[in-house]
């Protein structure tokens, strides 16, 4: 059915859309012809709950709390559109369960957020806020309000994604030197913006005259700038946050400003918005060295026009049965492919996430590899399409480092997203039968060390010989970052991880430990986990792949070990999160050589 009408009790009616917040009229105008558009600002949550049942679409910004109760009351709701990026105010899980598509506008306000960052940068450098307040109070304080210039100063960018790069280009125009920390940044894009990517966060904090934060707000970035990080900054340094409240620990920032260990801050976002009078954020806002704005990053006429047109176009698409451009929770797989590919979609998503978490820079002290070989083996080599598998792998790879709203990956946009992120995945098919292994199909993901081809983000080779021909010349360049998986009885399994053969279900919180293959290791690890209140639910021990007796020769750290020793991998499913100090406590002479925690 077209979006012109929907059938209610056999009677056709125009679909209805509710807009309870200020959304630019430019997009709403697109809806008027075919939908009944109701702009109803100032509704209480109770009012909203009362009327939501009448509507087919809901368009919001960040203030409306689209919680599970509201979604459940929305009997006719097919789409919730967020006119902006952040979907923190939408219960995504509940929406997905109810089959309601949530869309957003991931690009529409990037420039506005970047320009706002530059506004805060200049305001902090030149005391614009204090000076304006002082003048309005009838004072003329020229000597007290001497500022600094930004030209020639070092701007450190934490998170070199869409906003971070736009800030970099503008700040480069102001004559600033640019450095960044972002383990997952696209090096080519960084170089094109004259940004030097530094390998550690410490170096970035030490060198910054100005630091600006543009990471997503996810578990790994929450409070990532605290007392320790701030103490590494120059006393003359200033810090900016136009990303999300809570990435910088507000109490630590206030303490650093009060102690004079940093010189100033420009803040647009807060842990709780609007901050309550007793919140630390309110003390921060009141501090004379702080320039603060009430979450205005996206508040420009242009950005509001962009996001409004973007989401309204998507509302029209969804109501007419088409795939939207930026659905936060859209299905990766079309119904007709569901039966055959769905279990492998799950496997590939898990493999991608496992790759990022296990082989992440935190564990290996290396950057995430950005060129991969993905081989479909056995019956999977004859699949009509591998697009959903490619999309699932990419989604899995990015999920541990990306907020939900930026993770809108589906079969329509996966290749483009990979290209934007600088991730090159070469797909190939190998029809060799796998029957002897006990399952019909498997998938192998292998990271490459060799220089990457800059052109395509997805290439497919169906000739298995192509791999064989090149394999010997490439062998030395390919390192141990390999994962193989298969599906049995609709359950995904990992059968190889790095140099180790294994068999485990990638599900829940898993501790992966590499150790010398000696008695007593499991006892040591189990004891230390037990002491920290962590129960082991499942366990498997994996020898080195292909040759359980192989001696350790490959790892550079261990090459320098006095006598080569056998190694094994310990894979423990645990019942709760393992704190960083507990993980570290496992890496000792009598314990593990290396430990990573992954959540799958
Ligand atoms: N104030 C506003 O009104 C406003 C407007 C738009 C966007 N935002 C916020 O700005 C932020 C950036 O948005 P974006 O569109 O550029 O996102 P993005 O996903 O394009 O970029 C985020 C970058 O952060 C990097 N990153 C992830 N974890 C990291 C870590 N631990 N250390 C260093 N880098 C890490 C990622 O690799 C990525 O390059 C988001 O938090 C977004 O919600 C705020
Ligand atoms: O997530 C976003 O898009 C920005 O933070 C802006 O939010 P807003 O639409 O409430 O201004």
**Residue whose CB lies within 8 A of the most ligand 1 atoms, among 216, 241, 370, 422, for a mutation test:** 216
- State mean pLDDT over 143-159: 98
Model confidence at 431: pLDDT above 80: no
Q: Would you list the domain boundaries of the chain?
A: 6-107+302-319, 110-292, 331-498, 507-547+561-600
CA angle (428, 432, 437) in 5-degree steps: 115
For residues 554 and 58, the model is more confident at: 58
Q: What is the DSSP pairing of strand 79-82 with strand 101-103?
A: parallel
Q: Would you state the pLDDT for residue 466?
A: 36
Answer whether residue 60 shows pLDDT above 50.
yes
CA distance 148 to 205: 19
Q: Is position 273 annotated as part of the catalytic site?
A: yes
- Which of the four pLDDT bands, split at 50, 70 and 90, describes residue 12? confident
The terminus-to-terminus CA distance of the chain in angstroms comes to 39
User: What pLDDT does residue 510 have?
Assistant: 95
Give per-residue pLDDT as tens, 537-558.
998 887 665 444 333 333 333 4
Look at the pTM and tell me if it is higher than 0.95: no
With the C-alpha atoms ordered 152, 155, 160, 163, is the resulting torsion angle positive or negative?
A: negative
15 or 385: which leads in pLDDT: 15
Among 330-339, 344-353, 549-558, top mean pLDDT goes to 344-353
Of the listed 21, 36, 39, 273, which one is catalytic?
Answer: 273
For 89-100, what is each residue's pLDDT tens digit? 999 888 887 888
For the chain, the average pLDDT equals 86
| Cβ–ligand 1 contact at 3 (below 6 Å) | no
pLDDT at 120 over 80: yes
196 is catalytic: no
Q: What percent of the chain is predicted at pLDDT more than 70?
A: 85
Q: Between β-strands 482-488 and 500-504, what pairing exists: parallel, antiparallel or unpaired?
A: unpaired
What the block records as the tokens of 211 is 């630091």
Q: Does domain 331-498 correspond to CATH entry 1.25.40.10? A: no
- Other C-beta atoms closer than 10 Å to the C-beta of 354 total 25
- Output the CA 222–ligand 1 centroid distance in Å: 12
Q: Where are the beta strands (DSSP E) in 388-508?
A: 424-430, 441-447, 458-461, 482-488, 491-497, 500-504
Out of 34-48, 355-369, 437-451, 476-490, least confident range? 355-369
The catalytic position among 82, 295, 421, 514 is 295
Q: Is the pLDDT of residue 450 over 70?
A: no
Does ligand 1 come within 6 angstroms of the Cβ of 401?
Answer: yes
CA–CA dist 487, 494 (Å, integer): 9
pLDDT digits (tens, 9 = 90+) for 561-586: 455 578 889 999 999 899 888 999 99
Helices (H) and strands (E) in the chain, counts: 21, 25
> For 281-290, what is the mean pLDDT?
97
- Higher-pLDDT residue of 454, 223: 223
Pick the CATH number of 6-107+302-319 from 3.40.50.720, 3.40.50.1000, 3.40.50.300, 3.20.20.140: 3.40.50.720
Closest ligand 2 atom to 108 CA: 3
Is 295 annotated in the active site? yes
Order of strands across the sheet with 264-267? 195-197, 177-181, 154-158, 210-213, 238-241, 264-267, 290-292
| φ, ψ of residue 171 in degrees (nearest 5) | -70, -30
Q: Please give the CATH topology (third level) of the domain spanning 507-547+561-600.
A: Alpha-Beta Plaits (3.30.70)
Q: Which is the CATH superfamily of the domain at 110-292?
A: NAD(P)-binding Rossmann-like Domain (3.40.50.720)
| Confidence at residue 542, expressed as pLDDT on a 0 to 100 scale | 79
Structure tokens at 236: 């003359």
Give the whole-angstrom CA distance, residue 64 versus residue 82: 10
295 Cα nearest atom in ligand 2: 11
Cα(25) to centroid of ligand 2, in Å?
A: 17
Evaluate whether 6-107+302-319 and 507-547+561-600 have a shared fold: no
| Rounded Cα–Cα distance for residues 535 and 528 (Å) | 10
ipTM, interface predicted TM-score of the complex: 0.99
Say if ligand 1 is within 6 A of residue 195 CB: no
């Amino acid at each position: 059915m077209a979006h012109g009408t929907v059938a209610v009790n056999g009677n056709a009616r125009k679909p209805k859309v509710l807009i309870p917040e200020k959304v630019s009229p430019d997009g709403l105008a697109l809806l008027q012809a075919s939908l009944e558009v109701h702009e109803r600002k100032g509704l209480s949550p109770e009012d909203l709950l009362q009327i939501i049942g009448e509507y087919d679409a809901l368009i919001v910004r960040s203030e409306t709390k689209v919680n599970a109760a509201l979604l459940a009351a929305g009997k006719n709701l097919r789409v919730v559109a967020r006119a902006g990026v952040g979907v923190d105010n939408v219960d995504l899980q509940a929406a997905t369960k109810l089959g309601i598509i949530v869309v957003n506008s991931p690009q529409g306000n990037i420039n506005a957020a970047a320009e706002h960052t530059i506004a805060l940068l200049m305001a902090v450098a030149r005391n614009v806020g204090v000076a304006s307040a002082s003048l309005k109070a009838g004072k003329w304080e020229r000597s007290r309000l001497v500022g600094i210039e930004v030209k020639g100063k070092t701007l450190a960018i934490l998170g070199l994604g869409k906003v971070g790069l736009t800030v970099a280009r503008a700040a480069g125009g102001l004559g600033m030197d640019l450095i960044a920390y972002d383990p997952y940044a696209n090096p080519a894009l960084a170089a094109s913006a004259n940004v030097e990517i530094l390998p550690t966060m410490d170096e970035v904090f030490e060198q910054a005259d100005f630091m600006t934060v543009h990471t997503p707000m996810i578990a790994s970035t929450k409070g990532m700038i605290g007392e320790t990080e701030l103490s590494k900054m120059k006393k003359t340094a200033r810090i900016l946050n136009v990303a999300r409240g809570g990435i910088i620990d507000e109490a630590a920032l206030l303490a650093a400003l009060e102690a004079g260990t940093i010189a100033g801050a420009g803040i647009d976002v807060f842990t709780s918005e609007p901050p309550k009078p007793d919140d630390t954020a309110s003390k921060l806002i009141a501090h004379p060295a702080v320039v603060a704005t009430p979450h205005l990053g996206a508040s420009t006429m242009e950005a509001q026009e962009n996001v409004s047109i973007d989401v309204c176009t998507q509302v029209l698409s969804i109501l007419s049965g088409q795939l939207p451009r930026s659905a936060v929770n859209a299905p990766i797989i079309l119904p007709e492919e569901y039966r055959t590919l769905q279990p492998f979609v799950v496997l590939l998503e898990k493999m991608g996430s496992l790759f990022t978490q296990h082989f992440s820079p935190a564990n290996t002290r290396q950057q995430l590899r950005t060129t991969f070989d993905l081989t479909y083996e056995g019956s999977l080599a004859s699949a009509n399409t591998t697009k959903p598998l490619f999309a699932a792998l990419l989604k899995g790879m990015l999920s541990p480092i990306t907020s939900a709203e930026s993770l809108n990956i589906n079969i329509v946009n996966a290749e483009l997203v990979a290209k934007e992120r600088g991730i090159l995945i070469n797909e190939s098919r190998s029809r060799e039968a796998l029957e002897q292994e006990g399952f019909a199909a498997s998938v192998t993901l292998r990271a490459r060390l060799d220089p990457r081809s800059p052109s395509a983000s997805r290439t497919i080779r169906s000739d298995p010989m192509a791999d064989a021909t090149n394999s010997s010349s490439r062998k030395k360049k390919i390192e141990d970052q390999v994962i193989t998986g298969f599906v049995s009885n609709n359950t995904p399994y990992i059968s190889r991880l790095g140099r180790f053969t294994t068999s485990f279900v990638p599900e829940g919180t898993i501790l992966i430990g590499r150790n010398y293959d000696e008695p007593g290791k499991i006892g040591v690890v189990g004891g230390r986990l037990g002491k920290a209140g962590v129960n082991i639910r499942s366990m498997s021990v994996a020898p080195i792949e292909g040759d359980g007796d192989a001696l350790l020769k490959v790892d550079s750290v261990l090459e320098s070990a006095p006598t080569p020793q056998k190694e094994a991998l310990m894979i423990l499913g645990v019942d709760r999160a393992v704190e960083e100090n507990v993980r570290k406590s496992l890496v000792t002479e009598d314990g593990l050589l290396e430990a990573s925690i992954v959540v799958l």
